[in-house]
Amino acid sequence: MRKLLAICAAIFCIAAASDPAERLPDPGQEARARAIFAEVRCLVCQNESIDDSSAELAGDLRRLVRDQIKSGRSDDQVRTYLTDRYGEFVLLKPAFSWGNAALWGAPFVVVILGLFLLLRNLGAPRPYAELSQDEAARLAALADKEQT
């Protein structure tokens, strides 16, 4: 049952981005395009980047990104262009926004909360005091007597 979605996707989608027919002639631009592909969701596939997908729409999106890069846009401009057209949904990396504060913040809140609880526990008054040297010696003597 596991990976059903990857399975469905994989039937059509096999790392299509590296298809030589689609590539940009400039290797630097191509590398930038590939880096962006990994962060862009193939909207009709489930949780797949357009780098991995060979669905038709993913091909269209790749062409769009490559065209943008060819016409000299920066990476950020390309991302903005995509979100303007398709909404935040298209980016696999959620924006650092208030709406996503809980998402980005939760790991750190858990760590801080955990450390706080640990420190409070360490600083808590001990339920019983440890034995002094004198008391320890007396206890040892008592234990010896018990054994003999």
Residue partners of 95: CB distance under 8 A and separation at least 6: 88
Closest by CA to 33, choosing from 56, 60, 67, 82, is 67
Question: From the list 41, 62, 66, 79, which residue makes contact with other proteins (rule: CB under 8 A)?
Answer: 41
HSE of 21, CA atoms in CB hemisphere, 13 A: 3
Question: From the list 31, 57, 101, 118, which residue makes contact with other proteins (rule: CB under 8 A)?
Answer: 118
Closest by CA to 53, choosing from 61, 33, 66, is 61
Q: Which of residues 54-83 bind other proteins (CB under 8 A)?
A: none
**Does 11 participate in binding other proteins (rule CB under 8 A)?**
yes
Question: From the list 33, 52, 62, 82, which residue makes contact with other proteins (rule: CB under 8 A)?
Answer: 52
How near is the Cβ of 100 to other proteins at its closest, in Å?
7
Question: From the list 27, 71, 120, 126, which residue makes contact with other proteins (rule: CB under 8 A)?
Answer: 126
Question: From the list 14, 136, 137, 140, which residue makes contact with other proteins (rule: CB under 8 A)?
Answer: 14
**Does 25 participate in binding other proteins (rule CB under 8 A)?**
no
Considering only the stretches 58-66, 68-76, 86-94, 132-140, report the one whose residues sit in contact with other proteins under the rule CB under 8 A.
86-94
**Does 87 participate in binding other proteins (rule CB under 8 A)?**
yes
Question: From the list 26, 31, 46, 137, which residue makes contact with other proteins (rule: CB under 8 A)?
Answer: 46
**Does 129 participate in binding other proteins (rule CB under 8 A)?**
no
Tell me the sheet residues that pair with 40. Answer: 91
How many Å apart are CA 28 and CA 73, to the nearest integer? 14
